[in-house]
Amino acid sequence: MKNKNGFTFIEVLTAIMIVTAVLAIIYPLLSQLNSEHFRSSESFQALLIAQTILEQIKQRERAVSEDTFTLIRDGKKYDVSIISQPHDVTTVRLEVNVVWEGIRNERESVYLTRLFALYGK
């Protein structure tokens, strides 16, 4: 029997092909996970913007009125619109819609609605 030291060319070539096949399967999955992470991060940032605006209105730091404006957070542009509708004699329904351009250049949005008392805290 002959003593073998090291690998043959065919064994190395086979190992390279197996590693390449595994990487070809894993790479698209990692790319998709990365894309979903950024999308989730943008959605979370938009939700925080909407919640902050509603909290400012609740604490009377912002007027209960309709408004449209643009915010830039972490280099991303968010278009915000506030819509005020009477609900009954003592409450108003506020809708906050935050829209931004997503990772695939698609318009995405977060929408929150709350009822607020017109008088008192």
In sequence order, what are the residues at sequence separation of 6 or more whose Cβ sits closer than 8 angstroms to the Cβ of residue 74? 45
Q: Is 108 helix (H, G, I), strand (E, B) or coil?
A: strand
| pLDDT digits 0-9 by tens, 16-49 | 999 999 999 998 888 787 777 777 888 888 899 9
What secondary structure letter does DSSP report for 53? H
Q: Are 76 and 100 in contact (CB under 8 A)?
A: yes
Length of the chain: 121
81-96 residue pLDDT tens: 988 888 888 888 888 9
CATH 1.10.1760 fits 9-117, yes or no: no
Read off the pTM: 0.60
Distance, CA of 74 to CA of 78 (rounded, Å): 10
**How high does pLDDT run on average in the chain?**
83
Tell me the three state secondary structure of residue 8.
coil
